[in-house]
Structure formats: structure tokens, C-alpha cells
Structure 1
């Protein structure tokens, strides 16, 4: 799990909408970029200005699918017509 803390209300709203709709969200923290499903958005009531802690469950990046046959199958028997 990835925990992210922010004070930006627009960003918090985006995460809450992603959590409600079951969509993935992307967080960029420094050089790290994490994409995954939002598990929780918690407000820290004792802080001024208000801050939120967002928990994201990261998804592993999908591997690129390699074709089983590297050659084109558009005209497999073209040499038969010559």
C-alpha cells in the first residue's frame, strides 16, 4: 500500500471521486509515480490547515503482449497464386 498526504482540496476531491467510482488514480510524489485504486481518504482533524491521508493500493504494470506469430498473416498463401 502507498500512503500519500496532501492539503490540496481539489486533489482530495479527485481521489474521493475515483474511490467512489472504482477507478484508478495516479499520484506523482517527487520522482515516484504510483497508479492504483484508492482505498481510503482520511481527514486529520487536529491539523491546521486541514490535511488528508490517502491510501492507494498500487497495480502492477501490465506486460506488453507479444504476438505468437511474428509474420503477417494477411496473405499466407500468396506464393500459390504466382
Structure 2
């Protein structure tokens, strides 16, 4: 799990919407980028200004999709017709 802390209300709203709709969210913290499902958005009541702690369950990156069949064979010979 990845824990992220922010004070930006727009960002918190984006994470809450992603959590409610079951969509993945992406956050960039420093040089690290994490994509995954939002597990929780908790407000820290004792802090001023308001701060939220967001917990994300990261997902593994998908493998590249390989084409099922090779590309068209006509393209390499297209220059012969011009």
C-alpha cells in the first residue's frame, strides 16, 4: 500500500470520486508515480490547514500487447508503384 498526504482539496475530491466509482487513480510524489485503486481518504482533524491521508493499493503495470498477426505485406512494396 502507498500512503499519500495532501492539503489540496481539489486533489482530495479527485481521489474520493475515483474511490466511489471504483476507478484507478494516479499520483506523482517526487520522482515516483503510483497508479492503483484508492482504499481510503482520511481527514486529519487536528491539523491546520486541513490535511488528508490517502491510501492507494498499487497495481502492477500491464505487459505490452503483442499483435496477433504480422502487419500488412503490401506496405514494403508500395514504393515500387510510384
1:80 maps to what in 2? none
Q: Secondary structure at the match of 2:63?
A: coil
Instruction: Number of aligned residue pairs: give it.
Output: 74
**1:46 maps to which residue?**
46
Quote the RMSD (CA, aligned, Å).
Answer: 1.7
Deviation beyond 3 Å, 4+ runs, structure 1:
67-74
Partner of 1:15: 15
The correspondence of residues 1-82 of structure 1 with structure 2, limited to 5 A, is 1-67=1-67, 69-70=69-70, 72=72
SS in structure 2 of the partner of residue 13 of structure 1: helix
Alpha-carbon separation, structure 2, partners of 1:69 and 1:8: 47
Instruction: Return the alpha-carbon distance in structure 1 between the equivalents of residues 60 and 66 of structure 2.
Output: 18
Q: Distance in 2 between matches of 1:22 and 1:71?
A: 36
CA shift digits 1:36-69 (9 cap, x unpaired): 0000000000001010000000111100122355
Distance in 2, matches of 1:33 and 1:56, equals 12
Any gaps of 5 or more consecutive residues in structure 1? 75-82
